[in-house]
Structure 1
């Protein structure tokens, strides 16, 4: 398994997953690393690429503007990675806001790539549930169930290539 972090160049890969969801400006638990650790134990996923948007060094002073080369680069990297990915894992943690993740849900709702967990206590869980049901997006009630389902899907993709 290979993990690609921003700002690393995104190349075409056989099978890949993007880890979308709660980061809360770096204040959220690093669930992305939990997923990567679990997936690394699966031999069948050795050739899978994980796009992890959680940058090693994020500067909170960056102006969130299209003119800011660092911020713009991060956002474009994430959009490129989601477009390139075969699967988009979207995890919305309870008691978080995650407005960008909700935007990503809207952007990719019709892509057929999304697999979602929206925990009880997420501030807009009702909206997420409705969009997922309306768009036929696979939804799971825990992070562990989402992770297991994503890994199973990735295994199927690897076997079919």
Structure 2
């Protein structure tokens, strides 16, 4: 197997035979740069399931209200994907606010799953940096380091699984 991409609202697979990487971070209702596409391409040769919340059919006119079925479906998918992920990538783009990614960081700060890229210019960089320091969250300086850190985390997960099988 090589990388399999699951994009919201596609059903999450029940089997957990391969590590799962959630690509969270700046999307801004589809207006932020599609950094997820670049990450997906960098993981093509890996035996991994990539969980991508950025959906091509997203309609920014959908009200972010719990009574909106499309919005509810997206939030529930993201919560399920975050919980099932072995690695959670969060990229906070400068010029973006990404409040949902901040929420995800808070929910999973103690999980040991997070790898965060938060360059200068992100409006709450101080909060991200302090939280990352307090909870031992891996932080990287640029997209290339992010790709390397994800592949390294996947390698360690595979080694751990190999030891557990013995």
Give TM-score, length-normalised by structure 2. 0.91
Q: Distance in 2 between matches of 1:25 and 1:119?
A: 20
Runs (4 or more) in structure 1 with deviation over 4 Å come to none
SS in structure 2 of the partner of residue 59 of structure 1: coil
Aligned to 1:73: 73
Q: Distance in 2 between matches of 1:67 and 1:31?
A: 30
Superposed counterparts of 1:38-77, under 5 Å: 38-40=42-44, 42=45, 45=46, 47-77=47-77
User: In angstroms, what is the RMSD of aligned CA positions?
Assistant: 1.1
SS in structure 2 of the partner of residue 70 of structure 1: helix
Q: Distance in 2 between matches of 1:55 and 1:136?
A: 31
SS in structure 2 of the partner of residue 100 of structure 1: helix
Q: CA deviation at 1:158?
A: 2.9
Superposed counterparts of 1:131-146, under 5 Å: 131-146=131-146
Q: CA deviation at 1:159?
A: 4.0
Corresponding position: 1:128 with 2:128: yes
Aligned to 2:27: 23
Q: CA deviation at 1:58?
A: 0.5
Give TM-score, length-normalised by structure 1. 0.93
Corresponding position: 1:6 with 2:8: yes
Q: Which runs of 5+ in 1 are unaligned?
A: none
Q: Which runs of 5+ in 2 are unaligned?
A: 162-166
Corresponding position: 1:33 with 2:34: no
Q: Distance in 1 between matches of 2:39 and 2:20?
A: 14
